[in-house]
Amino acid sequence: MKNTASLTEQSKNIIDTTDKIYLYGGIQYDVDSSTLKQTVMAYHHNNEIKDFVSDDVTRGGSWQYLPGTEKEVNTIDSLGQQKKYAVFSKSGNVATEESIKALSGNASPVVLHIATHGFFFPDPKTDTIKNKFASANVFRQSDNSLFRSGLLFAGANNAWTGKQIAGIDDGILTAYEVSNLYLPNTKLVVLSACETGLGDIEGNEGVYGLQRAFKIAGVENLIMSLWKVPDLETGEFMQLFYKNIFDKQSITDAFYNAQAIMKNKYRNEPFKWAAWILVR
């Protein structure tokens, strides 16, 4: 039997139809400089959160487009629209770092869903494994885990491959930058891993870096993955979770009910569902 306190807590964590829900997915990491500058122009007159990376950073490798993330956010958007929820989606070259930073303050949405690549470099003092992006020195060598973890947004491959675009953010949102956001209205952030997204981070500390950053920013609840998860089952889990949310289940119930269905369906394949955690 639930007591009054638990019922009150549940009602606080129900997402209402008037609550703003922002979805990021289907992000284009390869965007030419002129298109990117034109896209972010509207944000720069009022952007007080500065980019963390120095202009002379050299990086290696690049990030591939994640088609599964586009399908994921489109499905969630459709489910929300059917139930008359206030859902807003950003994809392609408009899913910029500037657009995320513009949500800081009173504009912060109740739900922020980010389906993208994530990265984390292990502590340089203890790392004995050569990372595939070993030339990303500014991230790799930092003593602060908030500088060694982050999320990728539109145009990120320009800076990551050494083609820094002057005058705009580089599309690489570090956990440090996340910690400088102010998200007072945000009840829930979902960091959705797809293929080589956040789930491909080596070790739990990378997740901890982003977790700590969003908590500092004021987020109440976080859903994230501790390891790599399959693209198909990620979309399946998210669809179940948001269906529950749009049916007015609390965040907690929506998460555990979705996970229970996945567990029963894939009982002998825990890697398809057990990676997801809810941090409150």
* Overall domain count for the chain: 1
Tell me how far CA of residue 154 lies from CA of 19, 160, 163, 264, in angstroms: 26, 12, 14, 37
Domain range for 249 is 17-45+64-279
Encoding tokens for residue 18?
């008037």
Query: Angle at CA 167, nearest 5°, toward 150 and 99?
Result: 50
Q: Which of 144, 41, 56 is nearest to 98 (CA)?
A: 41
Tell whether 256 is covered by a domain: yes
Tell whether 50 is covered by a domain: no
CA distance 111 to 221: 10
Maximum CA pair distance of the chain? 60
Tell me how far CA of residue 127 lies from CA of 130, 134, 155, 205, in angstroms: 8, 11, 29, 12
Please tell me which residue, 3 or 180, carries the higher pLDDT value. 180
pLDDT of residue 87: 98
Tell whether 247 is covered by a domain: yes
Q: For 92, phi and psi rounded to 5 degrees?
A: 60, -135
Tell whether 1 is covered by a domain: no
What's the burial of 238, exposed, middle or buried (CB within 10 Å: 0-12/13-18/19+)?
buried
31-45, 192-206, 227-241: segment of lowest average pLDDT: 192-206
Q: Which CATH number characterizes residue 269's domain?
A: 3.40.50.1460
Tell whether 173 is covered by a domain: yes
66-70, 82-86, 90-94: segment of lowest average pLDDT: 66-70
Across 43-100, the runs of DSSP E, i.e. the strands, are: 86-92
Tell whether 10 is covered by a domain: no
Tell whether 58 is covered by a domain: no
> Would you say residue 234 has pLDDT above 90?
no
Tell whether 225 is covered by a domain: yes
Question: Cβ(150)–Cβ(114) under 8 Å?
Answer: no
pLDDT of residue 194: 41
48-52, 93-97, 211-215: which has the highest mean pLDDT?
93-97
139-143, 187-191, 207-211: segment of lowest average pLDDT: 139-143
